[in-house]
Amino acid sequence: MKQLGWVLAAALFAGSVGLARADDDDNRVISRLGMNSPKDHLRIASFYMPFDGSKSEGYPAVPAGDATRFYSKVWDGLYLQVTTEKGEDGVAGYMVSFSKDEAQQDVIKTDESRDVPSLREVSAADFRTDDNFGVRALKPGPGTPSDRGALRVIHYDDFDVEIRVLEFNIGDTGLKHKPYFKNLSCLVTVMEKASANQAK
């Protein structure tokens, strides 16, 4: 029984740190990446978004060429948009954006620099080493353009957005492969700024 206990403990530890062998699927559940939210927000809306490739249960889907766009109303005049990014063998990533309309004709810009990778893009490659041979370690706190990680914070004029990756399964791991998401679940939280309400 003691030997079995040590085996179970080792297995649980391996799962908690996200170990994965080359050429196997990279399947990780992210339990905690702490960050305290600012207190100067008013309305807050959160969206649990589970993706199975180019499908997402509970969200309207619109074909957009080789991509699929999912959307949901946040509140009046604000819509969450998520668009798939095609890879060699599946969905390589998901791009989060916001618009003032359902059809995404009036897109809201962020204060992100166009010269660096966007934190709005959740890519399978974000969680793999550059050669795709191993897992990329996840650091606590919000990601940066050079290491986007599982927690991202994006600032808009009237609201802030927090993207938390909760769980994923990445296929085609290993050298000479391009990783893609078999499935992904994330939590997108939109927090209205107090200054936006005062300006109305």
- For 15, phi then psi, to 5°, come to -65, -35
pTM > 0.85:
no
Cβ-based burial of 68 (10 A; exposed 0-12, middle 13-18, buried ≥19): buried
Mean pLDDT of 131-139: 91
What's residue 38's pLDDT? 56
Classify 150 as helix, strand or coil.
coil
* pLDDT score of 22 more than 90: no
